[in-house]
Chain A
Amino acid sequence: MRTFRVIKAEITKTAKIWLTYPIMIIFWGIFPLVWVLPFIFQGKAFVGGLTSESFKTLTGTGNYLSFVLLGAIISTYIFSGLWGVGNSLREETYWGTLEYMIISPTHPLVILIGKTVVEFIYATFMVATQSLVAVFLLGLKVGLHQLLPVVLIVLLLLVGFYGLAIAFAGFTLLVKEVHGWVHTLEWIFYLFSPIRYPVEVNPITKVISLLIPLTYALVAVRAVILLNKNILSLGKIILLLSIMDAIFLAAGIFLFDYLEKKTRRLGTLAMH
């Protein structure tokens, strides 16, 4: 019960911070789609329309517009988690509140779970806004019957990913400045998972992408929405994501605990 109260307090606190900067919510709700526009125009300039036969051979759908839109929308969860959860304890350092948080009688992991929940709510709001823009302004077609399978796939992606982000938050306690590291992770996701292009186009990206859970989630979401596949036919991907979830979540919690204790032992918790 006390744990839930802490999580609720964390949600309230973060919501207050966001509402202080309402322009940020609008920015993140819209700009990930603006970043996709060059890809759409680029495609039109290269093939003269919104479909491509070559793209269809690689992905099963020639509709590259929907392909990149879905990549942008789903990856919002990843990048918001990377910054919002992975970098959250670093932000507490900037605000001067990390030490208070760590010495409070609540386990830091509980506070981090609160931050994860609130980041999920925030990202869901942004994803909903982007989806509405994509459906009503950019012509993305999504059937109501496809929503439930997509939600399930996204949840399966996020459980494991938030495990990774929690471990990363522990890492920030140890190494402090992690901007460069976050950008490096962003590279890896942009280049080696099919967020913006089908990784099958290059043998190197194709092989490396298999190690990233986001690849499986994007393939499954696109299969449901663009190829109208039944979720039952994606059993193998669901199983793989579930296994990755278990591994990433357990490893994430273990690593956070280890790194937090190590930072305390080193006495560098309050350092910048």
Chain B
Amino acid sequence: MTDETTNPIRDAIQTAIDDHEVILFMKGTPDSPACGFSARTVGALQALGAPFAAVDILPDPRIREELSAISEWPTIPQLFVNGKLVGGADIVTEMYEPGELAQELGVDAPEAPAEAPAAEAPSPAPMGIENRLG
């Protein structure tokens, strides 16, 4: 790692943010979140039925370092919509209740959520970042 002029991990993260309308950087996967905050954020997105890409930051600590450098946000999860950081678990949860999150995501606000978010399997998330490291 002596080449300081290129940063393939940061580039891959930026590309992933640019290429996906809604992308969540999280600990673990939507099916198996590795942290309560990530689980809560996934739950909010799934409750709205919003399609989203997800990247597990755990496999390589550099993903988190570079992500935080890009976003100027120190914690995980981080939700990006249209290339912009929306926030972490607290903000996403705060936005969920008044229907603000649905608006941000361009989906219908939940009417009266009769039951907890269904645990249906989300579509497989593009995991481009890891793949490009090889």
Do A and B truly interact? no
